[in-house]
A and B are shown apart, each in its own frame.
Chain A
Amino acid sequence: MKTEDFITTLVKEGARKPFPKPSKVTLGWLLTITAYFWLVVAFYGTRPDMSVKLTQPVYLTEILVMTITAIMAAWAASWLALPDADQKSWLRFLPFIPLAFLMGMLVYGMFTNSTLTLSECLKLGRYDCIMRIVLYSLLPCGFMFYSIQKAAPVRCCWAGTMAGLSIASFGYILLRIIGRSDDPTQLLVWNFLPVFLMMAIGMVIGQSYLGRIWQS
């Protein structure tokens, strides 16, 4: 087909109405995830010692850092849903700053404040924590991936990774609000590392699902 005829065919279909700006998309995601978050908390209830935990600066810092990670990752994912995301390519590295900070906190706690050794912690086999993070994430994850796929991401793996990180960070916060374990080694192995697992899952889904708009 000649290019001129091809243009005529495209024009008949017309240009599509603009997609919301990344800031609006992020806000929409965050509101939806927060609503879902409160529903889960209302369903399972908070940990029994919640009032005590809310007075502990380390606990509050941990929650705050993970919230920042979740927001930054959602913001990066909303930009990565656009083809010209390279204009703000630095955004995708931002969430790793609070994430590294939290990892540092947990590793420091593991060496100074933990009652469990690494091998003891591994023997605990708290696979339920991984399952809970994945299960808490399923619904918001589906929603987020669906809306990214509605846009036109070029860096599909990165978009998927950021979506996975954002959701997993919320999952981590939920676990900390609902679950009772506070040992830094246990938190690192059974709560924090699954966040990386979710990122990897997000990357794989991103690669296979998010680039569909470009396929002929």
Chain B
Amino acid sequence: MDYNDDRENKFVRLMHRAQSGDHASYTELLRSITPLIRGFIYNRIGNGADNDDILQEVLLGVHRASHTYNTDRPFTNWMFAIADHKVKDYLRAYYRKKALKEVDFEKIKDFIAAPVTSEASPGEGLSELLDKLPKKQRKIVHMMKIEGYSAQKVAKTMDMSLSNVKVTAHRAYKVLIANGRKKEEM
């Protein structure tokens, strides 16, 4: 039996216990697979700024799909299949965004040349940034930061898991900051 077999057996054992409700085993499992997933992401897309986000997306995927793992199949194959799916998702979104950036300047020159007659107030600026967010993210940010709801309350209201609310809010803040900076530079 080599190191990989030991590791595989350990993951299978931990997942089996986690599925029976053992939270300590689940913590140990998620902590143990984190470096493997990090390495996988690094191998696929290099050392990017979004690596931690992708890592968390993969962990969320593993968590959500935890019911589809049956202990008679190799755990690492199952885990890397999820990681692969998530990395492909990320790459698809990345190239879609990149394609959007490559705009033909000639086509939008009229739009750029349009006169700007009034300066927007900071409030308008914020709502403009919020409007650019996807519906779900916008609602979560609005509930948490403007209406003052807790993440738990938002999760209950929107019928989402707490982790999902936190991740979605985190993504929304990142987008808001990035869009805000872009707006300042313009």
Contacts and interface: CB of A to CB of B under 8 A. Distances in A.
Given A3-B52, A7-B34, A216-B168, A16 B19 contact: yes
Given A7-B59, A11-B26, 15 more contacts: A6-B163, A8-B27, A12-B23, A13-B161, A13-B162, A15-B15, A15-B67, A17-B19, A18-B67, A81-B68, A87-B77, A152-B61, A152-B67, A154-B81, A216-B60
A14 B162 contact: no
B67 A11 contact: no
A15 B89 contact: no
A11 B15 CA distance: 12
17 contacts: A3-B55, A6-B59, A6-B167, A7-B27, A7-B34, A7-B59, A14-B26, A15-B18, A16-B19, A18-B71, A19-B67, A21-B72, A81-B68, A83-B65, A83-B82, A84-B81, A152-B82
A120 interface: no
Interface in B62-92: 63-74, 77-78, 81-82, 85-86, 89
B185 to A, nearest CB: 27
Interface string A1-42: 101001111111111111101000000000000000000000
Given A84-B73, A84-B81, A86-B81, A13 B56 contact: no
Contacts of A138: none
A14 B17 CA distance: 11
Interface of B: 15, 18-19, 21, 23, 26-27, 30-31, 34, 52, 55-57, 59-61, 63-74, 77-78, 81-82, 85-86, 89, 161-164, 166-168, 170-171
A82 B74 CA distance: 13
A154 B171 contact: no
Contacts of A12: 23, 162
A16 B163 CA distance: 14
A166 to B, nearest CB: 20
A80 B51 CA distance: 28
A151 B166 CA distance: 23
A21 B68 CA distance: 8
Contact of B30 (A10, A17, A19, A84): A10
Contacts of A9: 162-163, 166
Nearest to B37: A3
A205 B77 CA distance: 27
Contact of B63 (A10, A81, A151): A10
